[in-house]
A and B are shown apart, each in its own frame.
Chain A
Amino acid sequence: MIVIIDYKMGNTGSILNMLKKIGETAVISSDIKDINNADKLILPGVGSFDTGMNNINNSGLLDILNKKVLKEKTPILGICLGMQLFANKSEEGIKRGLGWIGGNVVKFKFKDNNLKIPHMGWNEIKIKKNDVLFKNIAEEPRFYFVHSYYFFCNDNNDVLATTNYGYDFASVVRKDNIRGVQFHPEKSHKYGMNLLKNFAQLC
């Protein structure tokens, strides 16, 4: 069973809708028992870094998440803010992140002001390292992004794919059982569907 972690940070409904569409069983839950029994976890998230970390801490999920992810090596997929919370910290706030993948979350900075922030819309990914997430990926895959901050990994080996907006930034990251995507697969048509299917069936 896949558990979509509910920590009051949005977009859980869309993820469940897409998982249903591809025939996977999933629940949206903040219940420690459900999370403990999960085969796979998805950490979604729309909103600010500190609110996200506060909500994880206040809902008492930190210990169970650390246990599942770091000790039991349960596969987890972070989406958008969910992925950013894997970092040590973020320029967006003052809270410590989960610290599961070495790196910091930083804001887009451009020399010229032609590019709007947030980076919003459809963009491509360039695969740097192969992964089961990319199995059967379509030609010219494109995904839907909405974000002002991105994950800057300490170790380049943790970057699975990059995307260009002004410059290249990490759009898919992985360390062992921990994977994160900056875009929204649940809103990215067949491209996102394929990625979620790979996560559900192959990770």
Chain B
Amino acid sequence: MLKIRVIPCLLLKDLGLVKTVKFTDPKYVGDPINAVKIFNDKEVDELIFLDIISTNKKRKPSFELLSRIASEAFMPFSYGGGLRSIEDVKRIMEIGVEKVVINTYAFENPEFIKEIADMFGSQSVVVSIDVKKNKENNYEVFVHSGQLGTKINPVDFAIKMEKIGAGEIFLNSIDRDGTMEGFDLELIKNVSSSVNIPVIVSGGAGKIEDFAKAVESGASAVAAGSFFVFVGPYRAVLINYPDKKELRKVLK
């Protein structure tokens, strides 16, 4: 049977890897190519790379870096950050990236999702939804690396994105990002029960049992950042990935 995907989500800033807490305070955690090589050895299920500054600085993706990553990535991998034209998406696909992740531009121009799906198939377009609780304590979708509120509810946005052609939803809790305190299970339940496409969840994983809880709440795949790059109470940087047997025990 199909296995639950366990996906390291790696953040790119300039040419290095960083990790944030609640989308702020990026801390350098290493070299992306080196990380890919380690994740190859660990036979990781899949990787997601997100460039966290391209969109805000109106930069294009670093095609050269992505080519180097692709030449070492013998697992499926997705890329997001600064993608605003179908030509750039095409170039990314030719490099050997399986899926593109669209966040801000999915909100600004939803037709872009349809355009990608029509050209490359729905399976190649992931819409990433960053969610934070607003002052009224309601879930709200944020864009521009979590800086700009949209007043839109994540469930409504996910349904809209599925309709227009998204193949997967990448659901990220800004409040839990980097905290390692566990996933926002209520958010996961709300979104995954309202769409038919796979929902990859992220934000808050601190231990392997957290993944199981996310799956019980409806997640199709689980992602994390800190969990795969830090170890111990002092958050020492060490790229790691749990043993397959250990994962299988927890994720039935």
Binding site for B on A (CB under 8 A): 10-14, 17-18, 20-21, 46-48, 113, 116, 118-124, 142, 144-146, 164-165, 184, 186-190, 192-193
Contact = CB atoms under 8 A, between A and B. Distances in A.
B31 interface: no
Interface stretch (B69-77, B171-179, B205-213, B227-235): B69-77
B245 to A, nearest CB: 10
B45 A122 contact: yes
Contacts of B70: 13-14, 17
Given A11-B96, A14-B96, A187-B98, A123 B3 contact: yes
Contacts of B221: 121
Interface in B1-51: 1-5, 40, 43, 45-46
Nearest to B44: A189
Contact of A189 (B40, B95, B120, B121): B40
B2 A193 contact: no
B5 A121 contact: yes
A123 B1 contact: yes
Q: Quick one: which of B40, B74, B93, B124 has the most chain A CB within 10 A?
A: B74
A144 B2 contact: no
B76 A187 contact: yes
Interface in B149-171: 167-168
A17 B120 contact: no
B197 interface: yes
Contacts of A20: 71
Interface string B67-91: 0001111111000000000000000
A120 B169 CA distance: 13
Contacts of A189: 40, 43, 74-75
A141 B4 CA distance: 16
Interface residues on chain B, size class: 20 to 34
B94 interface: yes
Contacts of B110: none
Contacts, number: 83
A192 B76 CA distance: 12
Contact of B120 (A46, A121, A186, A188): A46
A17 B96 contact: yes
Contacts of A187: 74-76, 98
Contact of B198 (A18, A116, A144): A116
A17 B94 CA distance: 12
B197 A13 contact: no
A186 B43 CA distance: 13
A47 B121 contact: yes
B201 to A, nearest CB: 15
Given A10-B120, A47-B120, A144-B75, A122 B196 contact: no
Q: Which 10 residue pairs of A and B lie closest in terms of their CB atoms, listed nearest first? A: A13-B96, A14-B96, A187-B76, A122-B3, A17-B71, A189-B43, A146-B123, A121-B5, A121-B2, A123-B2
A31 to B, nearest CB: 17
29 contacts: A13-B95, A13-B96, A14-B98, A17-B73, A21-B74, A46-B121, A47-B120, A48-B121, A116-B220, A118-B122, A119-B2, A120-B123, A121-B2, A121-B4, A121-B45, A122-B3, A123-B1, A124-B1, A144-B75, A145-B2, A146-B76, A146-B98, A187-B75, A187-B98, A188-B75, A189-B40, A189-B74, A189-B75, A192-B74
A121 B74 contact: no
A48 B118 CA distance: 10
Contacts of B73: 17
Contact of B74 (A18, A120, A123, A146): A18
